[in-house]
Amino acid sequence: THATATILYSDIEAFTSIAETMPPERVVQMLNEYFPAVIEPVERHGGIVNQFQGDAMLVTFNVPVEDSAHADQAVSAAIEMQQAVDG
């Protein structure tokens, strides 16, 4: 049997351009503030962060932990991630 998963991929719009204008220490500080803010809603909604790549994050829902509402949970997490960044 195969499980169905919902995948959420997130990255910072124009990150490369932004990072090129900042000192490296400020880029690291920005990412250190960004990731906890967006990981919190992901975990609260049952998502599992599988990979970080620069400013990007790959998250799965319903794998490995089953959740029949995984698609809805992913959408809720994405909305809350956006609110955390915009807020």
What's the pLDDT at 13? Answer: 94
What's the pLDDT at 1? Answer: 75
Torsion angle, alpha carbons of 69, 74, 76, 82, to 10: 180
**Segment 32-39 mean pLDDT:** 97
| pTM: predicted TM-score of the whole model, two decimal places | 0.90
**pLDDT tens-digit map of 37-59:** 999 999 999 999 999 999 999 99
Q: So what's the architecture of 6-86 in CATH?
A: 2-Layer Sandwich (3.30)
Percent of the chain with pLDDT over 90: 93
What's the pLDDT at 43? Answer: 98
Name the phi and psi angles at 35, rounded to 5: -60, -45
Q: If DSSP codes are grouped into helix, strand and coil, which group holds residue 3?
A: coil
The angle, 0 to 180 degrees and rounded to 10, between the axes of the packed helices 24-44 and 70-86 is 140
- CA 61 vs CA 5, 15, 30, 37, 74: distances in Å: 6, 25, 26, 18, 7
